[in-house]
Homo-oligomer: A and B are copies of this chain.
């Protein structure tokens, strides 16, 4: 099979950064377009361009594009808008195929000069047969070819293909997804979309074998009819999650002044996305929750859930959030209840569903610390622990839940800031850890929810606990409301798209 159209924009042979600068106030340009390439280990040539010459992070700076001593494939513009047409002419001279513009100040300003400048740029590009990405965009993150615009994005790739019309939202979405254990095949911030647009990119991702799920943050389109066709084709091949920014009338005006997008009415988008079978979301959190569910959770067969966690209050809130979306927490059958009674003291626990497993966590914590011998060894001891049937602890507990025939899935939750004691990393992780490790690899679909407030005390223990969930292979959610909503939509999606999710999970990094 031939590589999908546009593949070459993700595989630049060499990259020139026009406007790279040694000025400390312009250093951010190097931080976006040079340092990330070095960090990722980009194999092509990197050419900083600045009329002053000199050196940037050890690379020689060329005064003009045409001074570069070799072929230039991909040119990134970080200079003022009025200077870009001339650079585009130079791009043609050196044989560049892509002109990507971080530069803003075009149609999105709403000013006639900006609109005209963008029109002129496109005209020049067409004449030279050069494709434009942007203007007013951050560009490309592609781990497999080691291209990135942010030094902190992961080196390793994954199954999510993202397009985002806004650079800041692209960044926000990627960072939000990364902390949840997701990784990307490609992410493109495409800005004003004067040439390469959402249709081109979605078409590409539909055929991209690295991309298992597509996520799109779109502010508007210039060609609704083509978008409908492209989306319909993409959605017939892969799950696609769409966040339409600017869905209120003020938001639509803002979209126009942000990327010059023709926003369209919310109702029109709603209809379009429903028709093609895309999943519509209304916030970055909702988008990331949905990606987590699609990529990391086996769709439950039905709506019967059991919630297991620490604290009666947290359990109660979990129940409300789950029943809100139509799940049911059925009462625990008498035989399983009897089994639980043998494991934990009755006080402080709830032998109904939701289950406040705090007393059982306490017992396992003591076992774990006994095994570790020394507090400093808790992580090692946790990794070594096994939870077989007959262990009079978490193993029996989880096995009993697996024996519950009506149960469709499990929610394991842990609320860090509900604990009135001192919040210590080892205490949190040894409290939640055995539940997470004992729940790992079970027959029942399961999700984890870790609640926390980012304060001095809890943020680091919470990161550790989140990490345990991710490493154990669970879908990780940061709110019960988000988890419930995403799991509900996962089930609905699976029912309307039978078989599409098979083979998707397990492909994540």
A219 touches B166 (CB 8 A): no
Stretch at the interface among A120-128, A242-250, A395-403, A489-497: A242-250
B283 touches A481 (CB 8 A): yes
Distance (whole angstroms) from the CB of A406 to the closest CB of chain B? 14
B417 touches A314 (CB 8 A): no
B323 touches A249 (CB 8 A): yes
B168 touches A320 (CB 8 A): no
Pick the contact of A311 from B168, B176, B282, B451 — CB < 8 Å?
A: B168
Q: Across the interface, which residues of B come within 8 angstroms of A149, CB to CB?
A: 420
Stretch at the interface among A58-66, A87-95, A251-259, A499-507: A251-259
Residue of B nearest to A322 (CB): B250
B317 touches A169 (CB 8 A): yes
B152 touches A219 (CB 8 A): no
B259 touches A346 (CB 8 A): no
* Count of identical protomers in the assembly: 2
Of residues 141 through 194 on chain A, the ones whose CB sits less than 8 Å from some CB of chain B are 149-152, 164-172, 175-176, 178-179
Q: Across the interface, which residues of B come within 8 angstroms of A415, CB to CB?
A: 168, 172
Distance (whole angstroms) from the CB of A262 to the closest CB of chain B? 14
**Residue A85 at the chain B interface, CB threshold 8 Å:** no
B347 touches A168 (CB 8 A): no
B454 touches A105 (CB 8 A): no
Given contacts A150-B420, A319-B251, contact A313 B166 (CB under 8 A): yes
A346 touches B168 (CB 8 A): no
Of residues 76 through 135 on chain A, the ones whose CB sits less than 8 Å from some CB of chain B are 80-81, 103-105, 108-111, 114
Pick the contact of A250 from B254, B329, B458 — CB < 8 Å?
A: B329
Of residues 437 through 462 on chain A, the ones whose CB sits less than 8 Å from some CB of chain B are 451-459, 462
Q: Across the interface, which residues of B come within 8 angstroms of A171, CB to CB?
A: 417-420
**Residue A25 at the chain B interface, CB threshold 8 Å:** yes
B316 touches A352 (CB 8 A): no
B420 touches A167 (CB 8 A): yes
B176 touches A418 (CB 8 A): no
B317 touches A245 (CB 8 A): yes
Interface size class of A (residues with CB under 8 A): 35 or more
A167 touches B248 (CB 8 A): no
Q: Across the interface, which residues of B come within 8 angstroms of A351, CB to CB?
A: 109-110, 257
A348 touches B105 (CB 8 A): yes
**Residue A312 at the chain B interface, CB threshold 8 Å:** yes
Q: Across the interface, which residues of B come within 8 angstroms of A269, CB to CB?
A: none
**Residue A421 at the chain B interface, CB threshold 8 Å:** yes
| Residue in A176, A248, A282, A313 with the greatest tally of chain B CB atoms within 10 Å | A313
**How long is the Cα–Cα vector from A452 to B319 in the complex, in angstroms?**
27
Pick the contact of A254 from B167, B170, B316 — CB < 8 Å?
A: B316
**Residue A50 at the chain B interface, CB threshold 8 Å:** no
Residue of B nearest to A481 (CB): B283
Residue of B nearest to A172 (CB): B418
Residue-wise, chain A 372-415 has the 8 Å CB interface mask toward B (1 for contact) of 00000000000000000000000000000000000000000001
**Residue A229 at the chain B interface, CB threshold 8 Å:** no
**How long is the Cα–Cα vector from A168 to B313 in the complex, in angstroms?**
6
Q: Across the interface, which residues of B come within 8 angstroms of A68, CB to CB?
A: none
**How long is the Cα–Cα vector from A310 to B217 in the complex, in angstroms?**
18
**How long is the Cα–Cα vector from A145 to B317 in the complex, in angstroms?**
31
Distance (whole angstroms) from the CB of A182 to the closest CB of chain B? 13
Q: Across the interface, which residues of B come within 8 angstroms of A152, CB to CB?
A: 422-423, 457
B176 touches A417 (CB 8 A): yes
**How long is the Cα–Cα vector from A166 to B166 in the complex, in angstroms?**
43
**How long is the Cα–Cα vector from A150 to B417 in the complex, in angstroms?**
11
Q: Across the interface, which residues of B come within 8 angstroms of A245, CB to CB?
A: 313, 316-317, 320
A459 touches B454 (CB 8 A): yes
B350 touches A257 (CB 8 A): yes
Residue of B nearest to A288 (CB): B453
Q: What are 22 A-B contacts with C-beta separation under 8 Å? A: A81-B347, A104-B347, A104-B348, A105-B348, A109-B347, A111-B346, A114-B346, A138-B420, A150-B420, A151-B421, A152-B422, A166-B311, A167-B311, A168-B314, A171-B417, A246-B319, A250-B320, A253-B331, A253-B352, A255-B316, A258-B312, A454-B463
Given contact pairs A168-B418, A169-B418, A250-B323, enumerate 20 new A-B contacts (beta carbons under 8 Å). Answer: A32-B421, A105-B346, A109-B346, A109-B351, A110-B351, A166-B313, A167-B313, A168-B311, A168-B312, A170-B313, A176-B453, A250-B319, A250-B322, A250-B329, A251-B319, A251-B320, A254-B350, A254-B352, A255-B316, A258-B313
Q: Which 9 A-B pairs have CB atoms at the shortest separation, nearest pair first? A: A166-B313, A105-B347, A168-B311, A169-B313, A248-B323, A168-B418, A258-B312, A454-B454, A251-B320
